[in-house]
Amino acid sequence: MTKRLAHQILLIGWDAADWKILQPLMDAGKMPTLKQFVETGVMGNLATLDPPLSPIMWTSIGTGKTADKHGVLGFTQPRPDGQGIQPVLSTTRQVKAVWNILMQNGFKTHVVGWWPSHPAEPLNGVCVSDFYHKAHDIPQDQWKMAPGTVHPEQLADTLAELRVHPQELTANHILPFVPDAEKVNQETDQRLWSVAKITAECSSIHAAATWIMEHEPWDFMAVYYDSIDHYCHGFMKFHPPYREGLPRDLYDLYNGVVESGYRFHDMMLSRLLQLAGENTTVIICSDHGFHPDHLRPLHLPREPAGPAAEHSPYGMVAMRGPGIKRDELIFGSTLLDITPTILTLFGVPIGRDMDGKPLLQAFIEPVEPARIDSWETVAGDCGRWPADKIGDPWADQEAIDQLVALGYIEPPGADAQKAVDRTIRESKFYLARVYLHKHDYANALPLLEELYANYPDQTRFGLRLAQCYKVLELISEARRVTDAVIATWKQQRIEEIQKNIAKAKEAGKDTSEMTVPEDPSSPQLELLQGNLCLAEETADAALAHFQRAQQATPRLPDLHLGIAQAYVKLKRWQDAEEAYFQALEIDPDSAFAYHGLAQVYLHIRHFKEAAEAAVTSVGLLFHNPSAHYHLGEALFRLGRFQEAEQSWLRAVTQATGMKRAHEQLIRLYQYHLHDPVKTLTHQHIMERIQPVPNRRVVSQVTDSTRVSITAQPFKIQPIEAAKVITVVSGLPRSGTSMMMQMLQAGGLPLLTDAQRVADDSNPKGYWEYAKVKTLSQDNTWLGEAQGQVVKIIAQLLPELSADYHYRIIFMQRDLEEVLQSQQTMLERLNTKKSNPVQLRQTYAQQLTRLATWLALQDHLAVLPLDHHAVIEQPLVVAQQLQTFLGGPFDRQQAVTVIDQQLYRARKS
């Protein structure tokens, strides 16, 4: 570890907090605590990621990694049994959070309310999950805390008593938010209950956090408040100034809710800072902002997570403490930088696999952070759940689908299946957006192609796919998809208007002025067409589309960026400059407008202005390699060679394949900085750069194709050996049916029902018992299996009741052969096949978790058997079986069932 800079660190999460609201309130003296905080520390924008969904964002804040690495991909996930969906959980996270890393380095850590954090992780401090404060619509006298909400469990009752139920609030609590609350008809208007619910839940989190800070020692404390986001989603529409179309009476009632919510947080901040003390480093941050102005959409998209359209691309960050600068702005921060900053403050190395950077510009003294390849490979107790509790629900669901297709488990009910399918669909879309945001178009493309092919009515999938095609310079494909999207949108619009006319007629309203347009359009469609024309190098046509959009909606976000780009292509530099200024008049924080201005100024050789615009752009949005490149170009033209070097190095760090930046660095090192070693380094990098693929090339998986299950005896011996249940298990197509035949031939009684008849895939039968398929819902039948042999696939073993003893004969087979056999079987069944690469990884993960689970059980014994060995050395295996079973077993008869001709799927 390097030098420790912080004694304690308090991390405060304010979901959706935005400087656009905070700054005026501080200036008006309405948030005095935060005002004094930033005057004695640093503050700045915190660029968010895409998609701006809170569970994804807060997991990225807590890990320093993007969602493709940490694995949280939305609000819900499939249940482990595939029978429905559940809220996203802490066990979904695939990587260590900052509190796990700190615990592993000996720091006492507490976490309160982080999203997602249920079940509470077994940290060396206190963990309170995001289920803690949620009252939903449960009456106060029935409000029980879910198991797993608090760790350690002995604090559960104490912390449960601190929760605040909405029914406990009185008029005195509500009036600061809604001064004229008595005017509200609560039978028809539920907004007062919403205010009470948000405020009570926020108070519960605050009560838990302050109790822990008062009663428990700590080095690191993280507390997350979701309430600003909830106040904003419910009441931002009423936030001043008044917007046309709102009922004036509702505006008058609720226009102070958002401001009051912010001021409430300032009061809570005062107490947190008092408890933390002056020697504690405190970081306040939000995952995104919330448009309080004309940039907020008038209508939300009718799609899952549609309200996220109200989120702005910049959250906030403020930090103060020993060694932190005072009353200064910091620039270029992203929410991925919070974890690396915390680790650096504690002197703990940063993982090279993290996507963020420490905010060194906030430190008074220069710091050289220590590095480690990855914390994921560092062993030791870190407060995470054991491997058998951690899973990838999306990959697990694909494996469940495969098991359903193969006939090994029952499909979920129709409604449950719809929910599962919808969750998986949205999660794939969110993952594609993550890849797009990272400029990883090769990985985004196949996801978007699959989504749009399966759901052509979802125009949002088509729009993202067209965007991906444009970036990959597949312009004809982009045109094809865009035209299809436009046609679908027009048809949907016509059908929507027709439905509205029909409803109006049914209601007896006059429909004479309601007409169905022959060719409906919208400013958004014109903007879409214009951007595609830019990609097709038809700038005049693009400009015509943009101008039509401008006539309809002059202040349409992003419109003036398109107009400016068209002028750039037409080399109308002054018009382009003016268009970028118009874009900035609409959105003064547009990093893209400043970047565009930088490019215009480079063309007209105004290098000083170009550098200033580029600096502003990367200050707003640091992760933009193209903007860093153009900043380097401007600095080079100004003769500031060392600064140009740093800008181009940032560009190639963010986009390693950016050839033009490497070429500029080579010239810079050759002719200006005279550094032959660095010249050679970048020449070698240039030689290795491959063209960006238009399709993702799936490399051969180099992971092991076999995961071993360990043999184990009973830790607690069964009282009645005759009642032990013998289980034959393994992945589907791993030789379980062959083993059932061996055991029957050896004289053991089998529990089967012959419902599944033999076929070409299993000519000698499946030897199954139908009730096994619903084991995850009903295991009461296991008593029937006592003293018998039953076949249960590996994924269902954790569903076995601990009331019985089991001897598990676990068939192991090379995963390549398992998948080959499964794919062949699916072809015979004429069923859609799954991605074998993904399944191989999923099966390996599932078997790893299963091995951990098996090792923790004391009521079962395990005999792992190799599929290949059973076929090639059946007598040896028969001897192992006899020893393991501990009773009569006819070895000679058992080996007669082995048929080597049925060993058809062999590893190449």
**Which pLDDT tens digit goes with each residue over 819-860?**
888 888 777 767 665 667 667 777 887 887 788 788 878 889
CA trace torsion 869, 870, 876, 882 (10° rounding):
140
Per-residue pLDDT reduced to its tens digit, 27-60: 999 999 999 999 999 999 999 999 999 999 999 9
Contact, 95 vs 355, CB < 8 A?
no
**CA neighbor of 328 nearest in space, from 39, 46, 45:** 39
pLDDT (tens digit, 9 = 90+) per residue, 239-250? 998 888 889 999
pLDDT at position 402:
54
CA–CA gap between residue 203 and residue 339 (Å, rounded): 26
- Please enumerate in sequence order all residues whose Cβ is within 8 A of that of 684, keeping only pairs 6 or more positions apart, or say none: none
User: Which of 118, 122, 136 lies closest to 193, judged by CA?
Assistant: 136
Residue-wise DSSP of 423-461: HHHHHHHHHHHHHHHTT-HHHHHHHHHHHHHH-TT-HHH
Q: Is the dihedral of CA 757, 763, 767, 771 positive or negative?
A: negative
Residue with tokens 């029935």: 142
As a 3-state breakdown, the chain gives helix, strand, coil percent values, each rounded to 5, of 50, 10, 40
What is the pairing mode between strands 806-812 and 76-78?
Answer: unpaired
d(CA 228, CA 316): 13
**DSSP at 396:** H
Q: E strands within 48-100?
A: 76-78, 85-87
CA–CA distance, 321 with 264 (Å, rounded to integer): 23
The C-alpha atoms of residue 371 and residue 185 are separated, in whole angstroms, by: 60
* φ/ψ (deg, to 5) at 367: -135, 135
pLDDT at residue 641, as a whole number? 95
Comparing C-alpha atoms, which of 771, 735, 739, 736 is closest to residue 752?
Answer: 771
The rounded distance, in Å, linking the Cα atoms of 170 and 885 is 68
What is the bridge-based pairing of β-strands 725-730 and 789-791? parallel
Give a three-class secondary structure readout of 718-741: CCCHHHCEEEEEECCCCCHHHHHH
Q: Are 335 and 310 in contact (CB under 8 A)?
A: no
DSSP helix/strand/coil, 768? coil
Q: Where are the beta strands (DSSP E) in 204-257?
A: 220-225
Cα–Cα nearest to 536, from 449, 478, 453, 468: 478
Q: How far apart are CA 432 and CA 428, in angstroms?
A: 6
Count the residues in the chain: 908
- Residue 350's H or E segment, with its range, is strand 350-351
Token reading at 325 = 């600068």
Q: Which pLDDT score is estimated for 646? A: 93
What is the spatial distance between Cα 310 and Cα 302, in angstroms, rounded to a whole number?
13
Beta bridge partners of 371: 350
Regions of the chain where pLDDT drops below 50? 408-409, 693-704
Q: Specify the pLDDT at position 409.
A: 43
Token pair recorded at residue 47: 């660029």
Going from N- to C-terminal start, the domains of the chain cover: 8-370, 521-570, 721-902
Instruction: Specify the pTM.
Output: 0.76
Q: Which two tokens stand for residue 748?
A: 């053991």
Q: What DSSP line would sit under 111-131, residue for residue? A: EES-SS--SPP--SS-EE-TT
Closest by Cα among 341, 322, 311 to 276: 322
Q: How far apart are CA 89 and CA 396, in angstroms?
A: 15
* Amino acid residing at 404: V
* Strand-pair category, 289-290 with 311-312: antiparallel
Cα gap 221→227, rounded to integer Å? 19
CATH superfamily of the domain spanning 721-902: P-loop containing nucleotide triphosphate hydrolases (3.40.50.300)
Question: What six digits make up the tokens of 769?
Answer: 């018992």
Write down the pLDDT at residue 299: 73
User: Nearest 5 degrees, angle CA 334-CA 337-CA 340?
Assistant: 175
Chain-centroid distance of CA 95 in Å reads 12
Would you say 468 and 441 are in contact if contact means Cβ atoms under 8 Å apart?
yes
Phi, psi of 707 (to 5 degrees): -115, 125
CA distance 568 to 575: 8
Give which of 712, 743, 698 is closest to 898, Cα–Cα.
743
Question: 488: buried, middle or exposed (CB in 10 Å: 19+, 13-18, 0-12)?
Answer: middle
**CA geometry: angle 335, 341, 347, nearest 5 deg:** 160
% of the chain with per-residue pLDDT over 90: 60
Specify burial of residue 642 (Cβ count, 10 A radius: 0-12, 13-18, 19+). Answer: exposed
Q: Can you count the helices (H) and strands (E) in the chain?
A: 33, 20
Q: Which CATH class is domain 8-370?
A: alpha beta
| HEC profile of 793-856 | CHHHHHHCCCCCCEEEEEEECCHHHHHHHHHHHHHHCCCCCCCHHHHHHHHHHHHHHHHHHHHC
* Contact call for residues 896 and 745 (beta carbons, < 8 A): yes
Distance between CA 339 and CA 219 in Å, rounded? 15
